[in-house]
């Protein structure tokens, strides 16, 4: 897989930043943060993103499901230094939203993740409300 486009590697373009400290149990046998553990850390960062931007879970009877999740590993990460995770909405579709997540540790790029979340109501895709579209606009990746 090719390295992400340069604009996706610029933390200044992401409106939300959080720090998550890895746990000792997140290490693999090479003393790096395990790939599966990093996926869990990225999930926690997405939850923090939604909470910090004021997007409540289960709004209007709608839940979200992950439709696609990809991680491009750009470097190694280690315990115990915290991971900086920068999060932004990259695209808003009719029923989905795409988030970008940039992971940095000690000033080095560790990973870039892209996740597509689909709105679901009654086991079917549900359209975003106009209020949601307006609420998420300030949290888009800065161009």
Q: Where are the alpha helices (DSSP H) in 69-129?
A: none
Boundaries of domain holding 71: 6-139
Is 82 part of a structural domain of the chain?
yes
Is 83 part of a structural domain of the chain?
yes
The tally of CA atoms less than 13 A away on the side-chain side of residue 93 is 13
Q: What pLDDT does 53 receive?
A: 80
Q: Count structural domains, the chain.
A: 1
**Cα–Cα nearest to 113, from 92, 85, 76, 82:** 85
Is 75 part of a structural domain of the chain?
yes
Q: What pLDDT band is residue 86 in, cutting at 50, 70 and 90?
A: very high
Is 110 part of a structural domain of the chain?
yes
Is 1 part of a structural domain of the chain?
no
**Cα–Cα nearest to 49, from 120, 143, 117, 139:** 139
Is 36 part of a structural domain of the chain?
yes
Distances (CA, A) of 124 to 11, 31, 102, 118: 35, 42, 30, 10
Is 24 part of a structural domain of the chain?
yes
Is 103 part of a structural domain of the chain?
yes
- Supply the CATH number for residue 36's domain: 3.10.129.10
pLDDT digits (tens, 9 = 90+) for 27-74: 998 889 999 999 999 999 999 998 888 765 556 678 889 999 999 999
């Amino acid at each position: 897989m090719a390295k992400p486009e340069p604009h996706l590697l610029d933390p200044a373009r992401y409106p939300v930043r959080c720090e998550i400290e890895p746990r000792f149990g997140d290490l693999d046998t090479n003393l790096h943060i395990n790939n599966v553990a990093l996926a869990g850390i990225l999930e926690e960062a997405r939850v923090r993103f939604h909470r910090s931007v004021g997007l409540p879970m289960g709004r209007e009877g709608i839940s979200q499901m992950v439709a696609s999740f990809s991680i491009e590993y750009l470097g190694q990460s280690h315990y115990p230094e915290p991971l900086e995770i920068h999060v932004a909405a990259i695209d808003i579709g009719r029923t989905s939203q795409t988030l970008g997540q940039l992971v940095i540790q000690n000033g080095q790029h560790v990973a870039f993740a892209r996740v597509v979340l689909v709105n679901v109501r009654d086991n079917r895709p549900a359209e975003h409300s106009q209020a949601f579209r307006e609420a998420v606009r300030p949290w888009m990746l800065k161009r």
